[in-house]
Structures are given as structure tokens and as C-alpha cells.
Chain A
Amino acid sequence: MPDNGKIVHLHFDGEAIAAFDGDNLAAALLRAGKGEFRTAAKNDLRGPYCMMGVCFECLVEIDGMPNKQACQMTVRDGMIIQRQNAPDRAGRESG
């Protein structure tokens, strides 16, 4: 556990989450019970899969910057994380 006694505070879709300082972001969110990180086409829910930066299933928006791999990030106090939703494909045939 990356537990140096310090706690940092994150926001995930507007909800306050406490995390261990130095923790991996994907791990911190999973620890807080947040497993749904983004939606893909057809609004399928996706979450961390490979944890090593190759599958891109854990993409989130961090401080307004989209397409960040949560499994490759370290938590930072005040980090604002949003679920990343697939573009609205309403009206389009989605195969």
C-alpha cells in the first residue's frame, strides 16, 4: 500500500474521493469502488483492464484534458476526474 500517512482528495464526476498520496489513479478509484471509467460506442461501460498502459480502456478526463490513461497516472491533491463518454452517436447506425 502506498501509505505514507498522507491523504489527498480527488473529485470523480463531482464526488469527493479520498486517496493515498502516491497511489496509482486507477487503483485509487477502484479502491473507492469506482470501476466504471468511461463509455464506449453504444454506451458500453468500460473500466481498467490491463493496468499497464496498453489497452486504453481506463481513459478519463483529468482537469479538462481528455484521453488520459488512469492506470498510468499518480493521484494529485485536487485532481478533477470526469468519466469520459463516447461522442453522442444518436441517429447513427452503430453496427
Chain B
Amino acid sequence: MANQHFQIVIIGAGPAGMAAALTTTKAGLETIVIDDQKDSGGQVYRNLRANQETSPPYLGQSYYDGAKLAQSFADCGVIYRPDCTVWQITDKREIALVSQGKAELITADYIIIATGAIERPMPVKGWTLPGVMSVGGAQTLLKQAALGADDAVFVGSGPLLVSNRMAIYPSGVGGSGRY
């Protein structure tokens, strides 16, 4: 069976991957977006469509502002493959991926990698203990599952940590974060 070929393959359906897809499809290029999550949005706009239904205020206006980009992405005519993990790219621009337990190979003229960023944790004694997690992980639990922690202690002073604490504190999903 011939491998499927695309002019553009974008890896990642977060803000960058979605914006790239808007640009390439507008230019008339056949584009596929591959993402390992179940829904578009990446980490920043994670679970946005579901949260819009109830609009919990603790997620903040900038989060809901992502709805415009998400809607444009849904309407732009791109081929979108969620739940699909890329594990190799060869020098022939073959992209090896796994989807629903099945392996596939696709090829591309151009590949745009939009896999985003990960946090750089500062290891301290005990940082791998259950109950210790990155602030990004805590924020994901809020967005994905409306799960906060009443007795959370925040360590650090980065912007993500501050925004997450502000999200948790007035939300009622988990209350008295300290730091």
C-alpha cells in the first residue's frame, strides 16, 4: 500500500500548530495536522470546547480567547488527526506514527514541528514523590478535570505558578493554595 503523501505535515495541534495550519491551508497547500492529544488546543487551550459549555471563570479570559483560533482551525479544511503519536522522522521525510495501536507511515514535502514547550523543573529532594507535581500538571488537572487541591502548597515564583494559584484560589474547586 502506498504511503499517504501530503504537501505539509504539522506535528502538534496547539496554538502554534493551529496557526500554522491556518496559514498553509489559506495558501492552498494540502495539510495534515497530527497531534497526540484527544482534542486540539495543546496545553494552553486544553479541553477548551468542553469547558466553554460551563465556562468556569477560574480558567481566565485569555484561555477562552482561544475559542476563535480553535474555531478557525476547525473550519480551515485541514486534515486533523488527534490521538496520533509521531515517533520517528526519517531523512526522506517519512513520518512514522502510531494511532489507536496501529503503525502508519506518511510522507511530506515539508514538515512543521509545533510540539510546544515543556516545563523545566528544579529538582529538589522529594520532587518525585507522589503528590508532588509540576504546576503545569496541576493546571492540566484544572482544565481537563476541574480538579484542584484544598491543601496545595506552591513552591516557586514563576509566572505559570502565579497564574495557576490565582486560578485555584477563587475557584471553589480547591481552595487555599499557599506559597
Residue among A37, A44, A48 with the highest chain B CB neighbour number at 10 A: A48
Chain A 37-76 per-residue mask, 1 if CB under 8 angstroms from chain B, else 0: 1001000111111111110010000000000000110100
Type the 1/0 row for B56-84, where 1 means its CB is closer than 8 Å to any CB of A. 00000000000000000000000000000
Assign chain A's interface to a size class: 20 to 34
On whether the beta carbons of A51 and B141 are closer than 8 Å, the reply is yes
| CB of A23 closer than 8 Å to a CB of B | yes
Contact of B134 among A28, A30, A50 (CB under 8 A): A50
Asked if A50 meets B130 with Cβ closer than 8 Å, knowing A2-B50, A24-B145, A30-B147, the reply is no
Please state if B128 and A35 are interface contacts (CB–CB under 8 Å): no
Which residues of B lie under 8 Å from residue A24 when comparing CB positions?
Answer: 144-145
Chain B contacts with A in 17-76, Cβ cutoff 8 A? 36-38, 43, 50, 54
For the complex, give the distance between the alpha carbons of A28 and B50 in Å: 17
Q: Give A48 to B133 CA distance when docked, in angstroms.
A: 7
The interface residues of chain A lying within 8 Å CB-to-CB of B133 are 47-51
Question: Chain B residues near A27 (CB, 8 Å)?
Answer: 141, 144-145, 147
A-B pair number, CB within 8 angstroms: 67
Q: B130–A23 contact, CB under 8 A?
A: no
Interface residue? B91 (CB, 8 A): no
Identity of the chain B residue whose Cβ is nearest the Cβ of A49 in the assembled complex: B133
Which residues from B are CB-within-8-Å of A90?
Answer: none
Chain B residues with a Cβ closer than 8 Å to the other chain, count: 24
A-B residue pairs, 5 tightest by C-beta: A47-B130, A27-B145, A51-B140, A51-B137, A1-B146
Q: List 10 A-B contacts (CB under 8 A).
A: A1-B54, A27-B144, A30-B147, A35-B130, A46-B128, A47-B130, A49-B128, A49-B132, A49-B133, A72-B36
Other 20 A-B pairs with CB < 8 A, given A31-B147, A50-B140, A51-B141? A1-B145, A1-B146, A23-B145, A24-B145, A31-B145, A37-B130, A45-B130, A46-B130, A47-B131, A47-B133, A49-B132, A49-B133, A50-B133, A51-B136, A51-B137, A51-B140, A52-B43, A53-B37, A57-B128, A72-B36
